[in-house]
């Protein structure tokens, strides 16, 4: 087993996106989106998740993503998310968690613990905290947040942030946690700013990367794509600024079609040597 650049632990799902531009079901879930973003920049990406027999594993393996950590559960359905996006950028979210409803930390392959980065993409905060217990001692564990979960569980999200070595959050999520009081985390933060790009903040160091202008069709998963792309480049030794610039560009291109399948072959995404 090759040493991974990035191991991603979270949800793989069928995603139904209902937007002003249309309605489509695509492979998704935060772990899937993050893995697709990471695999664009590294051939050493693995994912940990539970799916049903209704999920096509070729969607992962054909992109070069290691699937040792994916457990296929007989007799159960893959998680299904429904996300409705309105023209004013507000969203409604519902989930049928299927086989992902019961967390099993034993599916994590021992070899994944040697990955350069381990990422917990957007998921239930209590699940993330359980994984943080399992991953205690690993020097590079990052977490991401989801607005709906932050609203429901702000204190759990705060705990999650405090235990991570790198935080991904959008401005609304960050503000919700900030309202709880002091959030002087030691960990750097990648602040996702949507159509305005992203910012990397660590103490007095601030790197701001604007996003290219695109026509958005489906914004679901863009933040997860950004996180995966950023971490894969950092694992390969690229600077924060370079990694964030290409991650923002990749995330921006991800919103130009439904789902993220086009990212794997989009020639507008630069290939790293």
Q: Which long-range contacts (CB under 8 A, 24 or more apart) does 123-130 make?
A: 123/10, 123/11, 123/30, 123/31, 123/149, 124/149, 124/153, 125/149, 125/150, 125/153, 125/156, 125/157, 125/159, 125/160, 126/153, 126/156, 127/103, 128/160, 129/156, 129/159, 129/160, 129/163, 130/103, 130/105
pLDDT 10s digits, 137-157: 999 999 999 888 888 998 899
Mean pLDDT, the chain, integer = 91
The string of pLDDT tens digits covering residues 157-191 is 989 999 999 999 998 888 888 787 656 667 899 99
The domain 6-264: what is its CATH number? 3.40.1190.20
pLDDT band at 231 (very low <50, low <70, confident <90, very high): very high
Q: Domain map of the chain by residue range?
A: 6-264
């Amino acid at each position: 087993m090759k040493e991974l650049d990035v191991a991603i632990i979270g949800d793989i799902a069928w995603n139904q996106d209902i937007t002003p531009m249309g309605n489509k079901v695509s492979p998704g879930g935060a772990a899937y989106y993050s893995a697709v973003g990471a695999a664009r920049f590294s051939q050493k990406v693995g994912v940990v998740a539970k799916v049903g027999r209704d999920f096509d594993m070729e969607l992962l393996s054909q992109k070069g993503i290691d699937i040792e950590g994916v457990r296929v559960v007989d007799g159960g359905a893959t998680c299904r998310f429904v996300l409705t996006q309105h023209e004013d950028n507000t969203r409604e979210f519902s989930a049928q968690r299927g086989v992902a409803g019961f967390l099993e930390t034993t599916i994590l392959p021992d070899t994944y613990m040697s990955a350069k980065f381990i990422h917990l993409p957007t998921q239930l905060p209590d699940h993330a905290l359980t994984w943080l217990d399992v991953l205690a001692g690993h020097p590079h564990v990052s977490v991401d947040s989801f607005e709906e979960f932050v609203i429901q569980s702000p204190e759990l999200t705060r705990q999650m942030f405090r235990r991570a070595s790198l935080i991904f959050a959008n401005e609304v999520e960050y503000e919700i946690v900030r309202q709880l009081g002091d959030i002087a985390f030691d960990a750097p933060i990648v602040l996702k700013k949507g159509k305005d790009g992203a910012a990397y903040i660590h103490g007095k160091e601030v790197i701001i990367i604007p996003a290219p202008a695109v026509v958005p069709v489906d914004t679901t998963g863009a933040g997860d794509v950004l996180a995966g792309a950023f971490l894969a480049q950092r694992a390969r030794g690229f600077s924060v600024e370079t990694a964030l610039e290409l991650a923002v560009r990749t995330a921006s291109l991800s919103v130009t079609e439904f789902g993220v399948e086009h990212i794997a072959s989009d020639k507008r995404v630069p290939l790293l040597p």
